[in-house]
Amino acid sequence: MLKDKISQDTARYGVVGLGYVGLPLAVEFAKAGIQVTGFDVDASKVERLCKGDSYIEDVPNGELASCVENGTFTATTDFDELAAMDVISICVPTPLSKTRDPDMSFVMKATDAVAKRLRAGQLIILESTTYPGTTDELVRPALEHSGLRTGEDFHLAFSPERVDPSNPTYGIKNTPKVVGGVDEESGELARSFCSRAIDDVHKVSSAAAAEMSKLLENTFRSVNIGLVNEVAIMCHRLGMDVWEVIDAAATKPFGFMKFVPGPGLGGHCIPIDPFYLSWKLRTLNYRARFIELAGEVNSEMPHYCVKLVTDVLNDAGRSVRGSRILLLGIAYKNDVADTRESPALDILELLQERGADVVYSDPFVPAYRQGDALLESVPLDKEELERCDCLVVTCRHSGVDFDMVARHARAIVDTRNAYPRNARRPGGEGGARIVKL
């Protein structure tokens, strides 16, 4: 029985999708001594992984190589091996379409691949973030198309990923994990299995409750970031420093949680996840007003940052068209190489549309493909800084010498609070003019 295999650590674990979510999850279980097989359609990724070569920052080569060498982790493109797995997690992307509708094609392709090899006794866990009801309404019928029945022949649960790339404190093992089954036994088996590698597993009453919990987490962040972004615009119009205001409010030991403004939302979760819930509620003739308003504010922040750049250039007697503008960082957050949904890329394109000559410098992203063009990071040195008419701090990477930047840049738009309050010319008479978000 699966319950016995789990308790004896003999259950074989398959992870479908070896990206930012799937690979860290697979390696964490492999480190715990579970036999893990990773499945991916990208043969080049599989080849690298089988050599112990990681392409994910949060999975060090040493950890991966150790798991490969001791036989607890392997990777394959042969999905027929899914039949040999006892537990299977589906960790594939769930992007939004241009109309902000959920694109479930990756989930359904992965589910169909599992359904073709489904056998009695298996536990399937969907990890991809999605709208409430997906596990029951889409995944379950697709799996049961095999002729097997949920709860009788196989088990099905949902457990949302909680990956925060490059977080130095919380990783897969010590981040509490939520699980919910489509029935009680499925939920309990998922809880038991996840507990083999994760310190704290919280079981809820249903898969839908687990799905909703993830959307609440990221909707909470999106709404509060939207609020503080609007406060930043308000403070700018009032001639106040929003960072000073936030720091003052954060001295309250109760009833306030600190959020900070920025050039927009980025990453694979917060800009996307709340709209799964908004879409689901639209099908029930309900408008998720907080989600839509926060999305509107957050999506406008790149435009607001471009306005600040325009104002700075105008004050210097220059137009955006023909100006050379340097973006300091194009990753979606500090100290990562991940550019998914990065607001810096929106700022880059908006400035290009206005005729600016835009370059970027990012130690974590040496090159970035923009359509048919390949953009390469420029050196952040005196010569490059003096060539540019304006620099925009879009990432606050820890290795950057911001004092040096201020000494040699002409003008700086600081969207990440890299400079002290009211900083104007930290380099003396020749230093940059600094405008803060």
Q: What is the pLDDT of residues 235-281, one digit of tens each?
A: 999 999 999 999 999 999 999 999 999 999 887 777 788 888 888 88
Residues with catalytic roles: 269
Q: Compare 138 and 265 and report the one with higher pLDDT.
A: 138
Mean pLDDT within 205-221: 95
Q: Does residue 422 carry a pLDDT above 70? A: no
Q: Compare 207 and 427 and report the one with higher pLDDT.
A: 207
Mean pLDDT within 70-93: 97
Say yes or no: 324 and 201 in one domain: no
Q: Does residue 117 carry a pLDDT above 70? A: yes
Say yes or no: 329 and 182 in one domain: no
pTM summary value: 0.90
Say yes or no: 197 and 73 in one domain: yes
Task: Answer whether residue 328 is part of any domain.
Answer: yes
Residue 423 pLDDT = 56
Mean pLDDT within 351-370: 96
Residue 271 pLDDT = 79
Mean pLDDT within 190-215: 97
Among residues 208, 241, 275, the one where a domain terminates is 208
Residue 269 pLDDT = 77
Among residues 190, 208, 226, the one where a domain terminates is 208
Q: Does residue 430 carry a pLDDT above 70? A: no
Query: What pLDDT band is residue 426 in, cutting at 50, 70 and 90?
Result: very low
Helix (H), strand (E), coil (C) string for 165-226: CCCCCCCCCCCCEEEEECCHHHHHHHHHHHCCCCCCEEECCCHHHHHHHHHHHHHHHHHHHH
Q: Other C-beta atoms within 10 Å of 257: how many?
A: 9
Mean pLDDT within 303-328: 96
Q: Does residue 53 carry a pLDDT above 50? A: yes
Q: Does residue 144 carry a pLDDT above 70? A: yes
Task: Answer whether residue 21 is part of any domain.
Answer: yes
* Domain around 350: 300-436
Among residues 180, 208, 236, the one where a domain terminates is 208
- State how far the alpha carbon of 133 is from the alpha carbons of 138, 186, 191, 251, in Å: 8, 16, 20, 40
Task: Answer whether residue 350 is part of any domain.
Answer: yes
Mean pLDDT within 341-349: 95
Q: Does residue 424 carry a pLDDT above 80? A: no
Say yes or no: 198 and 344 in one domain: no
Q: Does residue 49 carry a pLDDT above 90? A: yes
Cα 70–Cα 75–Cα 76 angle in degrees, nearest 5:
140
- Tokens (6 digits) for 185: 């036994």
Contact 407, 435 (CB under 8 A): no
Say yes or no: 188 and 315 in one domain: no
Say yes or no: 50 and 198 in one domain: yes
Residue 270 pLDDT = 77
CATH code of 9's domain? 3.40.50.720
Say yes or no: 198 and 319 in one domain: no
- Tokens (6 digits) for 147: 């002729």
- Weakest-pLDDT range from 94-103, 163-172, 257-266, 284-293: 94-103
Number of domains in the chain: 2
